Amino acid sequence: MQILITGGTGKLGKELVKLFPGAITPGRNELDITDRKSVFDYVKSRRPDIVIHTAAFTDVARSEAEPEAAWKTNVTGTENLVDACIANAPGARFVYISTACVFDGVKGMFTESDLPHPKNFYSLTKLLGEFVVKKLPMHIIVRTNFVAKEPWPYPRAFTDRYGTYLFAEDVARGIKEVLDEKLVGTVHVTGDTKMPMFELAKMTTPDVKPMTLKDYSGPALTVDMSLGTEKWRKYKISKP
């Protein structure tokens, strides 16, 4: 079975490569998802049975400052991959990694049937990617919220933003299990515990400092990113 993982050097991609050691994980020099001809040629030559699409433009602030770049990767890049599969690997199962931030972040514990309402341009591009992926009959849209199991990359973390967070390795395991169960459609791969971002940060960085949204200036953020699920099981976040 031929498995293609985009974004194989990213936080989630690295964990997926461990679980799918025989997967194809092209770098950007081999597969530039924003180059339509390159994508079509690559998919035609490989004809994958499964595509796990993790490559994305994820920086919220940069997405506001560079909307064309975010769109080119998250929307056009996804469309290129989907169309290439329709043309050259129509039976492929296509896993698209989406985000809890497609929701407005008001009530929290969003399930697969809740209405998306993005708060910023990054979240909008990820939601539009979901609609693109639905052109494929064997699509799996995985909404999740994760960080790498490594030191917190900032000096502070929010005490008043929440999520049902997982580490990247937990999400990778969840994706594999969703594939093993041959699910189709939208699935939330989520933690079983809602916690502030500050609590998550302390798990790997005990000396991280607290902050609140009052200390923040920048694009609108999804405040409550917690996810529930009507279709799948929840996961316990692994130990650092």
| 3-class secondary structure, 234 | coil
pLDDT along the chain (240 residues), means of 10: 97 98 94 97 98 98 98 98 97 98 98 98 98 97 98 98 98 98 98 98 98 97 98 97
Please give the pLDDT value at position 149: 97
Please give the pLDDT value at position 162: 98
The Cα–Cα gap between 94 and 50 comes to: 6
The Cα–Cα gap between 89 and 81 comes to: 10
Write down the catalytic residue from 96, 122, 165, 235.
Answer: 122
Annotated active-site residue 122? The verdict is yes
Domains and CATH numbers, the chain: 3-215 (3.40.50.720)
On whether the pTM is more than 0.75, the answer is yes
Strand (E) positions, 77-226?
A: 93-99, 139-144, 146-147, 156-158, 162-163, 166-167, 185-188, 195-196, 209-211
The Cα–Cα gap between 13 and 6 comes to: 7
